[in-house]
Amino acid sequence: MIGIFNSHGAAFLKATWTTISITAVSLLIATIIGIVFALFKISTSKLLNFLADIYIGLIRGTPLIVQIMFLYYGIASFLPLSNFTAGAVALGIHSGAYIAEIFRGSIQSIDKGQMEAARSLGMSYPLAMRKVVFPQAFKRSIPPLGNQFIIGLKDSSLVAYIAVTDLFNTALQAQGENFMPFETYFVVGIYYLILVLIFTKIVNMIEARLDVSKGGKAS
């Protein structure tokens, strides 16, 4: 395994950056989608509720690899997308459905009296949501969001099947050259484990900073 580090170390480091980049872009997309569809879910509009239910149902009901392939070979056939972009968008759309449910649950967990008090002070609904409800809901959503972000990192390995040179794709190429599949996948597993541990540490630091469990304020 030391030989694999020596012979493919540079390739794995470059692939690590690609994995981090596509994960970061996809999670940014997912967070935006999640907020939008969470608001759709709690809206009084039946049309918006319906659109949110359709989106979340379709995403949760189909495998991620199918969604990636559909976007890459389907939509990209008439809308030019790079492999990286197609992969990031597909991952973002997929994670967005789960993040929408996380935000929905967090928003609905806030006491309705908070909104009523804000409205009684003359705030509009959007302003009250942005200034009063959502900040509290965001704090409560940090733990499940952290878990979803880690899942998103691991799910990013599937973009290897649309030729994105991420960690898993690099492992596929390396084991084809060295004929040492067990050792190669063990090495790439170490890379993923290190990334997950780093992500976990960052999430724990954010939780501690916001003092989510105690409902305290950041110092």
Query: In the predicted model, what is the mean pLDDT of residues 191-209?
Result: 91
Question: Looking at the domain assignment, is residue 153 inside a domain?
Answer: yes
Q: What is the CATH number of the domain that holds 166?
A: 1.10.3720.10
Per-residue pLDDT tens digits for 121-149:
888 888 899 888 998 899 889 999 999 99
Please give the structure tokens belonging to residue 198: 């780093």
pTM for the whole structure = 0.89
The predicted pLDDT at position 214 comes to 53
Question: Looking at the domain assignment, is residue 58 inside a domain?
Answer: yes
For residues 68 and 80, the model is more confident at 68
The predicted pLDDT at position 119 comes to 86
Q: What DSSP line would sit under the chain, residue for residue?
A: -HHHHHHHHHHHHHHHHHHHHHHHHHHHHHHHHHHHHHHHHHSS-HHHHHHHHHHHHHHHHS-HHHHHHIIIIIGGGTS---HHHHHHHHHHHHHHHHHHHHHHHHHHHS-HHHHHHHHHTT--HHHHIIIIIHHHHHHHHHHHHHHHHHHHHHHGGGGGGGT--SHHHHHHHHHHHH--HHHHHHHHHHHHHHHHHHHHHHHHHHHHHHTGGGT----
* Domain residue limits at 9: 2-214
The predicted pLDDT at position 17 comes to 96
Domains in the chain, number: 1
Question: Looking at the domain assignment, is residue 219 inside a domain?
Answer: no
Query: In the predicted model, what is the mean pLDDT of residues 103-129?
Result: 89
